[in-house]
Chains A and B, each alone.
Chain A
Amino acid sequence: MSKLLDLNRAGAIASRKISSLRRDHRTIAFIVIMPALQILLFGLAIGGTPNGLDFAVIDDGSPMFNQITDGLNGSESLVIHLEVSDEVEARDMIQQGELWGALMVQKNGTLLLVLDNSNQQVSSTIIVEVRTAMTAALAAQGASLPLEIGDPVYGERDPAFIDFLAPGIMVMVCFLFSIILTTMAFVGERYDGTLDRVFATGTQPIEVLLGHLVAFSTILIGQVSVVILIAVYGFDIPLEGSLITLFMLALLLGGAAMCFGLFVSSKAKSEFQAMQVIMPVTFPVLLLSGILWPIEGIPLILQPVAWALPTSWSAEAFRSIMIRGWGFEHAIVWKAFLYNGAFAIVMLTLAAKSLKVRE
């Protein structure tokens, strides 16, 4: 009862937990390999340009159209069919699912693009290809669209979807796996008597919590490193800003998630109950944090919910650090640090309150 916080005791708890974790190869493998696997799968499956799309070009023989056909032939995404004779046949083939779209010249001289619009990503890929071929053809004729797109201030000339998605996915993986790691941290200990024993020595709840936090942080460092390495070096996601800032923010986000996990662990009545918390957390995090879709596109009424999640602040900051190359001088970055830190402290306090020495 002497001191509020005894770091030596917290250290004892940490080193005990580290000894346990070191023997628990399955948990280490799960918590380091699973995030790596998730990032790998996301990188491989999401954001790649669709290939082998069947597309008909009904050439009228004009030099302008020839040029467009040549341009489309050079595209990797499209498989060009020249055997289609007219619009009726093209529409019929699209209806049968044999083509994704067709390009032809109308009687009045304008070009007509007909598409199977059932898949937005496929349609936009085709539209981009057609536009690129047209722009090239116009340029060859000495003409151009009255709009010129200048060099972007941030990002690449052809921004890839994965460049938007990857920072968000990194945030989600760091957050969720830190929760998974900690939710069951001492549900068992609260009921098997080991925690009674620890409390009998005069140890305070906050010391138990900090001990666990330190022990799990050793795994967190490995987890965060793997995620960043795979994203930046494996998938070539741009990293314009500081690697250290990114790493620190990822650690802080993981730490905040662990504090939430420890809070769950101090409340849950069983390990099963603790596990159940993970599902209802996963979906809001994935859907509301601006990971899959910009938060600006979320109904106004849900936006406060979105901004209550530390993942929203983090995803925004991750993108700014990675693509814009921003650092602490920008509000988006320092606010993310601030919010995650505050979230961690609030969760840790709640956990300490619900983990009572005296019941």
Chain B
Amino acid sequence: MSNGLAIDIANLTRGYGRGKSRVDVLEKLGMKVPSGSIYGLLGPSGCGKTTLLKVVLGRLIPDSGEVSVLGGLPGSKGCAVPGSDVGYSPQEIALYDDLSIHETLLFHGRLHKMSKAAVHDREKWLISFLDLPVSKRQVGKLSGGQRRRVSLAVGLLHEPRLLLLDEPTVGVDPELRARIWSHLKDIAAGGTTIIITTHYIDEAGQADRVGLMRNGALLAEGAPEELMKPHGHKSLEQTFLLLCRRKPRDESIEIDELGTSIASKGAGDNGGQVKENATKVIGELAGDWMKKDTSETGGDAIVGAAKVSATGVESESGTEEVSV
């Protein structure tokens, strides 16, 4: 990882099925996650987030493209993934309902070759940190939110270098969610790389980097403020909305092409320059898009944003028009 990237993905395509029934879930996706950062993966359900995480985990083999996780192709010889370097909390929770919290942690601890004492120490801390009930409670008898927190505890248990958290904060109360984020920031500062998918757009704003995903590709990735800047918006939601805003039907493909183009442009960059380039690319993208819009359809929402972007002023009127 000389380039400082924990995850480096370029032109990743992965689908399911064969022949005519084949569906590409990920299409020429590019993604760069610097070591020791929190990466917020944002996108509607069905956009391929979970498939992407499973490729990173080595559970799914890419159909094409380059994937490097912690310095190697997941599942290949010499790559630490899958293994104890990675912690994974899947979206579907996926815990054994008939085990107690204690047994669940002990089981995963054993798979990671942790000693009983080490599991015990972590268990004590995780239970108080995540506000979990007594550890002899059976997982199947917990509430949905509690189960999700047990699932998160399993991911955090062995203090892996890479954490993949698929919607870990759904149904978690705001106070605890803040606590979880603050802990994630702490361990990221200590060198842990974290990918977190979420539906809460505001929450993703706390990440070091955000990837906006749609239809199997990243529309844009970069630091939240950089993503927002060219569009002159205060929120990621509006940025995302702008990026995926549907044009008249016959042109909707263009959006995907733009998304793809940005992803592949990003993929060609070196890690250190990612931030700057992402900003540039997104600026270009927004510019392209707006030009097209004014010349062809004259859609006023985008024009509003274009004006704002050109002047560099964040205007309330611009944002209003975009969200129309």
Interface residues of A (CB under 8 A from B): 1-2, 8-9, 11-12, 15-16, 19-20, 23-24, 192-194, 196-203, 357-359
Contact = CB atoms under 8 A, between A and B. Distances in A.
Given A24-B98, A193-B92, A196-B54, A201 B103 contact: no
Given A8-B113, A11-B110, 16 more contacts: A1-B75, A2-B83, A16-B99, A16-B103, A20-B96, A194-B96, A196-B54, A196-B59, A196-B90, A199-B59, A200-B86, A201-B83, A201-B108, A201-B112, A202-B84, A358-B58
Nearest to B74: A358
6 contacts: A16-B103, A23-B98, A196-B88, A197-B88, A197-B154, A202-B82
B22 interface: no
Band of interface residues on B: 20 to 34
A201 B99 contact: no
Contacts of A15: 107, 110
B77 A193 contact: no
Given A1-B83, A16-B107, A200 B59 contact: yes
Contacts of A197: 88, 90, 94, 108, 154
Contacts, number: 82
B98 A20 contact: yes
A1 B77 contact: yes
Contacts of A194: 94-96
Contacts of A12: 107, 110-111
A358 B61 contact: yes
B110 A192 contact: no
Contacts of A192: 92, 94
Given A20-B96, A358-B60, A200 B82 contact: yes
A21 to B, nearest CB: 9
B57 interface: yes
A193 B147 CA distance: 14
A226 B112 CA distance: 38
Contacts of B110: 8-9, 11-12, 15
Max chain A C-beta neighbours (<10 A), residue from B60, B78, B94, B154: B94
A1 B79 contact: yes
A19 to B, nearest CB: 6
B94 A9 contact: no
Given A16-B103, A357-B75, A358-B60, A9 B90 contact: no
B61 to A, nearest CB: 5
Nearest to B97: A20
A38 B154 CA distance: 43
A237 B57 CA distance: 57
B93 interface: yes
Contacts of A201: 82-84, 108, 111-112
Contacts of B88: 196-197, 200
A202 B93 CA distance: 19
A200 B57 contact: yes
Interface string B200-216: 00000000000000000
Contacts of B83: 1-2, 201-202
Interface string B49-86: 00000100111110000000000000111110011101
B159 to A, nearest CB: 14
A193 B90 contact: yes
Contacts of A198: 111
A206 to B, nearest CB: 14
A193 B111 contact: no
B22 to A, nearest CB: 15
A241 B76 CA distance: 53
